[in-house]
Structure 1
């Protein structure tokens, strides 16, 4: 069971390991969208967006619902929104640490040059 969970997590994070897929998920966290809407918002070719949506669908991260001749995509689990927020917080923490380290470095450089 533990190995199965680790594999699931690894596959899940592999599916997230692409900047365009992350951007698509961020857009879908705001509201459901069609391929054309996503394409317009990310400024990418339709084939690239469709390819990334296929990956996300295959891992059950997003779902597509037919609406006439178009498909409307949505997040399968709203917890994705929280996951993206936590990832943003982790990034911000790393950024703060880096800025603090650089500030200390420049303080030391300034002290040594005087």
Structure 2
């Protein structure tokens, strides 16, 4: 990655793009997030925190699958962001991913937006 946080990282079925938007880091995972590749997302979220971004917007519009390991990565990022005075905002969850959050009750602890513009404007 060069300059700031713009860049991508990936492994097998998951790609993660990261870019800055004002005071927020926009993290865009695409593909399938599971126990085989959750570290790819974890590393990008941790890097954003290390760079001082406490407000993370996770654009899930291209995330096709998320298992419990992926959910735990996002929950951990949420705790770190909140401890730094920020938060994690989820955007555009597809029905299979949204269902995981609904079943576990995790949708109640995240701020969830339908559109990226909505999340970035908040």
Normalised by the length of structure 1, the TM-score is 0.29
Report which of the two has the higher share of strand: 2
In our comparison, the structure showing a higher alpha carbon Rg is 1
TM-score, normalised with respect to structure 2: 0.27
Instruction: Name the structure where helix makes up a greater proportion of residues.
Output: 1
